[in-house]
Amino acid sequence: MGCNKWKAGFNFGHLKAQSKLSVFFAMIIIFTYLFYCFTGYCDSLPITVYDQQTFINKILQKEGLEYSPQQMSDAHKNSSPGSFVRELPGVDSVDTLLQGNDNELRPDINISTANNFGSKTFPQAIIIGVKKGGTRALLEFLRIHPDVRAVGAEPHFFDRFYDKGLEWYRNLMPRTLESQITMEKTPSYFVTKEAPRRLFALSRHTKLIVVVRDPVTRAVSDYTQTLSKQPGLPSFQSLTFRNSTTGLIDTSWSAVRIGIYAKHLEDWLRYFPLSKFLFVSGERLVTDPAGEMGRVQDFLGLKRLVTDKHFYFNQTKGFPCLKKPEGSSRPRCLGKSKGRPHPEISPEVLLRLREFYRPFNMKFYQMTGHDFGWD
């Protein structure tokens, strides 16, 4: 009798230990999965067969293509939409389906890659310019809005990597819910001749944000950034003038050329109406970030959730930073590369450059209907 009790107690204790051990291993698996998802690994996981089928069926319906159940079943043995499409007779790739007869990207298709964590869609809004205008600050301010998801790094799809294709571009995007908007920023788009046509071919409904700044100050900031990477760079004056005797400005130097905003805007207005643009003042983004962010949120159709309570002015850097988020030990400021002190430049050089930009600025004011007060 005593032996039986001992065996029963042993079995109960053994089962209890096994149960605890099972729970322990289950918790390890769950926490490991959550860790990888939070670090972005889940974004690279293949989407489900159901979602692949949804993705492709939308395109096939557009094209009026039909395949037998056996062909669809065979094609579904692959793990990605791209490889799935290649198994269908007569179709080379997803890009083939997404391109029109003239080999341009189809503007009428915006298919998302979906799973339980949201969808990867083409951006509904893009910060297209300008370099050293305050684009990074604007993006970081926007990213604290719960309804905005944005790519951290600059994709450079419409200027450098267009040949990689539409599927490559969409896969760079973060996953978003239906209530959120997808954004990216690449300031060089504004000064790239091919960018307006390429973006229009993808979607004529994309909202475009241009952060502009006094072109003289912007040119000096641009030079300062390059100088930090290339200490042997010639002086600002020697790069500014094509001929120092005549005072002729060298517009082939990118630091000067970028600031001719009116010229670049003309290229974009050939494809997009002015209503698709929001011109953000880089100066006001520093002096009144909450006010300028209010305009941006209105333009994007967002609730005004980013307000003055989110900002404080950093005297050392000379621009606003985000106040300490909950659960963080310190506030969020832009990196060391932002707010660099500018080198000493002759007032005569700056005055000559300001005179050069004046007519372009006036035209830009007329085109946008906004006087930025640079003159």
Confidence of residue 331 (pLDDT cuts 50, 70, 90): low
354 is in an annotated binding site: no
77 is in an annotated binding site: no
Token pair of 294 as six digits: 């209010």
In a domain, 1, yes or no: no
235: helix, coil or strand? Answer: coil
295 is in an annotated binding site: no
338 is in an annotated binding site: yes
Model pLDDT for residues 17-61, shown as the tens digit of each residue: 566 676 677 677 776 665 555 444 444 343 333 344 444 454 444
Contact 87, 145 (CB under 8 A): no
132 is in an annotated binding site: yes
What is the mean predicted confidence (pLDDT) over 215-220?
98
Confidence of residue 340 (pLDDT cuts 50, 70, 90): confident
What is the mean predicted confidence (pLDDT) over 82-88?
39
In a domain, 8, yes or no: no
Range name among 7-11, 83-87, 135-139, 305-309 with the lowest pLDDT average: 83-87
Catalytic annotation, residues: 132
Contact 301, 183 (CB under 8 A): no
Cis amide bond preceding 216, omega within 30: no
d(CA 279, CA 296): 9
Query: C-alpha angle 297/139/334, rounded to 5°?
Result: 130
Contact 319, 313 (CB under 8 A): yes
Query: C-alpha angle 339/340/341, rounded to 5°?
Result: 115
Model pLDDT for residues 52-68, shown as the tens digit of each residue: 444 445 444 444 444 44
Q: Is the pLDDT of residue 244 over 80?
A: no
What is the mean predicted confidence (pLDDT) over 207-226?
97
342 is in an annotated binding site: yes
**Predicted local confidence at residue 226, as pLDDT:** 96
Token pair of 107 as six digits: 């503007």
d(CA 41, CA 301): 30
Beta strands in the chain (DSSP E): 113-115, 118-120, 125-129, 148-150, 181-185, 207-212, 241-243, 248-249, 277-281, 311-314, 319-322
In a domain, 36, yes or no: no
Range of the domain at 328: 119-368
Contact 150, 142 (CB under 8 A): yes
Token pair of 238 as six digits: 């020697």
CATH value at residue 279: 3.40.50.300
What is the mean predicted confidence (pLDDT) over 86-108?
38
Confidence of residue 254 (pLDDT cuts 50, 70, 90): very high
In a domain, 230, yes or no: yes
Give me the number of domains the chain comprises.
1
In a domain, 18, yes or no: no
In a domain, 10, yes or no: no
In a domain, 51, yes or no: no
In a domain, 266, yes or no: yes
Percent of the chain scoring above 70 in pLDDT: 67
Q: Which residues pair with 125 in a beta bridge?
A: 183, 207
373 is in an annotated binding site: no
Model pLDDT for residues 155-197, shown as the tens digit of each residue: 999 999 999 999 999 999 999 999 999 999 999 999 999 999 9
Q: What is the pTM of this model?
A: 0.69
Token pair of 63 as six digits: 């094209």
Higher pLDDT, 256 or 80: 256
